[in-house]
A = this chain, B = another copy of it.
Amino acid sequence: MCEPAELPEYNMLFRKLRSISPLSEDEKHCLLTLPLHVRTIGPDQEIVREGDRPAESCLVVEGFTCRYKFTAEGKRQIFSFHIAGDVPDLQSLHLKVMDHSLMTLTPCKLAFIPHQSLTDLMRRCPRIADVLWRDTLIDAAIFREWMMGIGRRSAETRIAHVLCEVLVKMRAVGLANGHECDLPITQAELGDALGLSTVHVNRSLQELRGAGLIEWRRGALCVLNWEGLKKAGEFDPAYLHLNAEHENAVA
């Protein structure tokens, strides 16, 4: 048996929160009191469904998940991708009924946290409440950035942008080495996130590859020219509001 602090579920949560706000030792210890129920789940599984009233929130410990919803005509819009450390349905703490669904994209290890435990934690440690609120606000900032992309930017720019975003987020929680990270999602999923058809995602990716900006094979993204990709994606990480003080801070 190992110490709570070493368990990957606590570790990822800690890394995530530290990436958006400095945490004291006290606050770190506070986090370790959270009861987490870990569950392993396959790819393409629903975690929470639109209309549900969850009594717990889910921390991603391993794998990739996404939020999404379907149009009346059956078209899917993906609202966000989530990586280890994220708590994609934290909002259900204050919005009781889910207005969208949550699913795994890859096999995942998820840790479920009862809302009651979160409420207790935040009462004992108001600073953590602030950090969690901040996290939901950053979520909203990312939605805005995606809106901007979908509404006003070209397919190629959009794709470059989201690739930058994923890499920076992965780096912030220590899941990237250099300019490489896992990205085990399909082009169709990327299309559903960016409001593009699979075919067009494919052709735009070829442009980015052709320009020597990226490689992306077997679920691994490798950015060959970071400055070039940033420029192609009009990417400025300010909207991610990352904690500049900590070691994994972005370039």
A: residues with CB less than 8 A from B are 67, 69, 71-72, 75-77, 79, 91, 94-95, 97, 99-100, 129-130, 133-134, 136-141, 143-144, 146-148, 150-153, 194-195, 234, 238-239, 241
Count of this chain's copies in the oligomeric assembly: 2
> Taking CB as reference atom, which chain B residue is nearest A240?
B99
A147/B148 in contact, CB under 8 A: no
Task: Tell me if A140 and B138 are in contact (CB < 8 A).
Answer: no
Are B134 and A137 in contact, with the CB atoms below 8 A? no
Known contacts: A137-B91, A140-B136. The answer to whether A99 contacts B151 by CB under 8 A is no
Question: Smallest Cβ distance from A230 to chain B, in angstroms?
Answer: 11
CB distance from A142 to the nearest CB of B (A): 9
Q: Is the Cβ of A71 less than 8 Å from the Cβ of B146?
A: no
Q: Is the interface of A mostly helix, strand, loop or mixed?
A: helix
- Docked Cα-Cα span, A153 to B95, in Å, equals 25
The answer to whether A94 and B137 have CB atoms under 8 Å apart is: yes
Chain B hits for A141, CB < 8 A = 95, 99
Could you pull out 20 A-B pairs where Cβ atoms are within 8 angstroms? A69-B148, A71-B148, A71-B153, A72-B234, A77-B152, A79-B144, A91-B137, A95-B137, A97-B238, A97-B241, A99-B241, A100-B144, A133-B133, A133-B136, A140-B143, A143-B144, A143-B147, A150-B151, A150-B195, A151-B195
Chain B residue with Cβ nearest A96: B241
Q: Which residue of B lies closest to A119 (CB)?
A: B130
Q: Find A71's partner among B67, B72, B143, B234 (CB 8 Å cutoff).
A: B234
Q: Which residues of B contact A234 (CB under 8 A)?
A: 71-72
